[in-house]
Amino acid sequence: MNLHAHLPPASGIVYLVGAGPGDPDLLTLKAHRLLQQADVVVHDRLVSARVLDLIPSGVTRLPVGKESGHHCVPQDRINAILVEQARRHARVVRLKGGDPFVFGRGSEEALHLRHHGIPFEVVPGITAAVACSAYAVVPLTHRGLSHGVQFVTGHFRDNRDVDIDWRSLANPDLTLVIYMGLAPLAQICTGLAAAGLPPT
């Protein structure tokens, strides 16, 4: 009788690491250290070449990039890859553009890892909205002009039409940040204008 038959196989740890907006100088110290210590790096298309250049030679790189309308590696397969790699290696870095938990599907990956008994840790990164606004010197909040920020996505699962409560977003006292909003831009502008925001 095998007393270990029902125990999950031994595994390494997966680090869900935010790569930030692309500038390696904006990586956290922890993200940089983990890249140096990784056995394998599973990375997105949005991670910049300059950040990928920080990965030491000899470390396995697995690109799993997705782009709008073309998912060369579906999310279910990415989830499975993380489990497979964690069962083969001690330190797996899942490198994601921006922050893993801001429209990065990091939470789905975390749930999958937890379901399979794989330990993981989340390492935050600078998200695109914060980086872009700072570089453009356009503050997301400013006393007397904007007392809050709303982050929303303009992209929906299975490429469905944008289904948003425009009235809840058409608040002139809040800064509205729309991720992945380029393709449905006309629909977004029409919806916000119809809800009361000026067309400008």
Q: Tell me phi and psi for residue 141, to 5 degrees.
A: -130, 150
Tell me what the pLDDT averaged over the chain comes to: 89
Task: Kindly tell me the burial class for residue 130, based on how many C-beta atoms sit within 10 Å of its own C-beta (0-12, 13-18, 19 or more).
Answer: buried
The 10s digit of each residue's pLDDT in 114-136 is: 999 999 999 999 999 999 999 99
How far, in Å, CA of 135 to CA of 152, rounded? 20
Give the pLDDT confidence score for residue 75 in this predicted structure.
Answer: 94
User: HSE of 150 in the Cβ direction (CA atoms, 13 Å)?
Assistant: 17
44 is catalytic: yes
Mean of pLDDT values over 68-84: 85
Share of the chain above pLDDT 70, in %: 88
178 contacts 153 by C-beta, under 8 angstroms? yes
Active-site pick, 23, 30, 66, 99: 66
Contact, 193 vs 167, CB < 8 A? no
Complete DSSP assignment for 159-172: GPPP---HHHH--T
Residue 8 corresponds to which amino acid? P
* Annotated catalytic residue, options 39, 44, 161, 163: 44
HSE-up (13 A, CA, CB side) for residue 140: 16
For residue range 135-180, list pLDDT tens digits in order.
999 999 999 999 999 999 887 665 566 678 899 999 999 999 999 8
Neighbours of 125 (CB within 10 A): 30
Nearest to 48 by CA among 131, 140, 113: 131
pLDDT of residue 70: 52
Tokens of 62: 């697995």
- Residue 76 annotated among the catalytic residues of the structure: no
